């Protein structure tokens, strides 16, 4: 396909997207030419074979590089790519209007449209996401999910140097601010020209609904506050989460905790995550029912899960909100030194919060409250209820909302490191990392590895490590001492 054919085909896609009309064709073709550094469009040729959006975008970007419109920096590439795909994207007002029209039919129809739009215009990086290594892992608590994150491109030295030398700009304030919608981007801030946000009202506030560019699960959504303010778990949080499941009943929604160590990667902007995905924790059963004094209409219980989870079910949103807030306030003040649980430091620093997750189960609203504690100790300087040292070779990072529910997001280094573990198990020449040596030796003693089963052996073992990671993060351990301590907290609630 010639570059002129590519330009025409991309203009076809732009018109088909509904953003433009046939009358706009010449304008579009000239816009595309100018963006990639071409001076003229060749006379019309025979129609080229149909190509998908990514193929056309990659061809246009290759021509832009050839014409030296962009240099070697990833940021330059991303900025131009987003400007091109913005031509495939209706305006924010048009997207919101069409979303509302489809929502009047069904919530599913509205999110299906928006999700498809964000994939078609490459805001959701489907090609990059496909590089992730994903596999299931059986556990005592259901099928856990393991993802080795390879989707985000690693920064090369030129990009790092350019970011270091760039001018500091406090706009947008963070990656989640609404001001990102349509933002050109710069060397130290991602391009967002093709980004769109659906506006929704919750608790008399405007919130934004968008998808994650680098999704970890199906329809990975982000619901963000219009105001740039710190994350805070409160009564309003529970009320909003349940309200979101009323608006989007086919989505779960949850919040990261609001404290360091046990919180997510962005604590500076109030936001939630949701999507159309069923995690292992959602399928875990209640293993022990709990009676909550004053909330008799609510079904409550302790979930069979490696972390410490209280599940609430009911039909009345207001009552569920009140019960969740009551448990949160009780937990914030609770200490049990026999299991290293302490609500405050000597200087008054608080250490207790909750990771909440809401979902619908037919007519029932369901709210999972995961108890979190971010204390540290001399033995566990990274966190008492954080992955312990013996599992750091696989997972050292914070255990946020996604991991809490049973999906491990593991660092990209493991893609190569685990291959070296496999070579070690097969007695092949290898460059086994020292951090994996004890683990690999144990695997070798327990298994007879062959070319056919070695990957399964290693992946199963990674799943077991992640199960232990979740146990480490649980405040009430899955042993007799821990479960007795959990019962004391339940008694304290009464």
Span 454-467, pLDDT tens digits: 999 999 999 999 99
Contacts of 200 (CB under 8 A, 6+ apart): 206, 207, 208, 209, 223, 247
pLDDT tens per residue, range 186-232: 999 999 999 999 999 998 899 999 999 999 999 999 999 999 999 99
The CA-to-CA distance between both ends of the chain, in Å, stands at: 72
Task: In whole angstroms, give the CA distance from residue 50 to residue 359.
Answer: 41
pLDDT tens per residue, range 298-339: 999 999 999 999 999 999 999 999 999 999 999 999 999 999
Going by pLDDT thresholds of 50, 70 and 90, the confidence category of residue 469 is very high
Over the chain, what is the mean pLDDT?
Answer: 95
pLDDT tens per residue, range 161-189: 777 777 788 899 999 999 999 999 999 99
Task: Examine the pLDDT at 155 and tell me if it is beyond 70.
Answer: no
pLDDT tens per residue, range 329-367: 999 999 999 999 999 999 999 999 999 999 999 999 999
Contacts of 279 (CB under 8 A, 6+ apart): 145, 217, 252, 405, 406, 407
Task: Examine the pLDDT at 49 and tell me if it is beyond 90.
Answer: no
Percent of the chain at pLDDT exceeding 90: 91
pLDDT value for 419: 98
Q: Give me the mean pLDDT over the 19-40 stretch.
A: 97
Closest CA to 202 of 236, 229, 177: 236
pLDDT value for 51: 84
Task: Examine the pLDDT at 287 and tell me if it is beyond 70.
Answer: yes
Residue 258, both tokens: 């609001």
User: What is the phi-psi region of residue 427: left when phi exceeds 0, alpha when psi lies from -120 to 50, beta otherwise?
Assistant: left
Task: Examine the pLDDT at 157 and tell me if it is beyond 70.
Answer: no
Task: Examine the pLDDT at 160 and tell me if it is beyond 90.
Answer: no
Q: Give me the mean pLDDT over the 27-41 stretch.
A: 97
């Amino acid at each position: 396909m010639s570059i002129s054919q590519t330009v025409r085909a991309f203009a076809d896609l732009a018109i088909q997207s509904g953003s433009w009309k046939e009358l706009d064709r010449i304008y579009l073709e000239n816009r595309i030419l100018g963006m990639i550094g071409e001076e003229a469009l060749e006379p019309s040729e025979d129609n080229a074979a149909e190509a998908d959006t990514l193929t056309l975008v990659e061809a246009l970007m290759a021509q832009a590089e050839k014409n030296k419109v962009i240099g070697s920096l990833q940021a330059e590439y991303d900025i131009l790519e987003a400007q091109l795909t913005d031509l495939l994207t209706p305006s924010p007002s048009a997207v919101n209007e069409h979303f509302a029209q489809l929502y009047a039919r069904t919530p599913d129809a509205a999110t299906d449209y928006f999700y498809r739009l964000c994939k078609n215009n490459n805001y959701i990086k489907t090609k990059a996401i496909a590089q992730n290594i994903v596999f299931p892992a059986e556990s005592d608590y259901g099928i856990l999910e393991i993802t080795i994150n390879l989707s985000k491109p690693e920064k090369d030295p030129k990009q790092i140097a350019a970011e270091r030398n760039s001018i500091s700009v406090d706009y947008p304030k963070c990656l989640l601010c609404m001001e990102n919608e349509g933002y050109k981007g710069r060397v130290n801030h991602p391009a967002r020209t093709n980004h769109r946000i659906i506006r929704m009202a919750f608790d008399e506030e405007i919130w934004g609904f968008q998808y994650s560019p680098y999704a970890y699960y199906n329809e990975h959504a982000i619901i963000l506050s219009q105001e740039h303010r710190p994350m805070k778990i409160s009564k309003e949080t529970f009320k909003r989460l349940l309200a979101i499941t009323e608006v989007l009943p086919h989505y779960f929604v949850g919040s990261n905790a609001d404290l360091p160590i046990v919180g997510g990667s962005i604590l500076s902007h109030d936001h939630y995550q949701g999507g159309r995905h069923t995690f292992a924790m959602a399928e875990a059963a209640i293993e022990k029912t709990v009676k909550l004094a004053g909330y008799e209409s609510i079904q409550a219980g302790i979930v069979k899960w490696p972390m410490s989870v209280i599940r609430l079910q009911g039909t009345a949103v207001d009552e569920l909100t009140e019960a969740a807030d009551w448990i949160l306030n009780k937990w914030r003040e609770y200490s049990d030194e026999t299991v290293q649980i302490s609500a405050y430091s000597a200087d008054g620093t608080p250490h207790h919060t909750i990771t909440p997750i809401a979902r619908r189960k037919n007519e029932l609203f369901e709210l999972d409250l995961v108890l979190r504690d971010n204390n540290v100790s001399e033995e566990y300087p990274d966190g008492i209820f954080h992955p312990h040292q013996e599992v750091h070779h696989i997972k050292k990072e914070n255990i946020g909302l996604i991991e809490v529910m049973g999906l491990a997001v593991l660092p990209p280094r493991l893609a190569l490191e685990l291959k070296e573990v496999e070579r070690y198990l097969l007695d092949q020449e290898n460059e086994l990392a020292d951090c994996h040596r004890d683990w690999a030796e144990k695997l070798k003693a327990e298994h007879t590895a062959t070319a056919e089963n070695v990957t399964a052996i290693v992946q199963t073992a990674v799943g077991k490590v992640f199960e232990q990671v979740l146990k480490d993060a649980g405040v009430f351990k899955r042993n007799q001492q821990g479960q007795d301590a959990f019962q004391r907290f339940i008694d304290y609630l009464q």
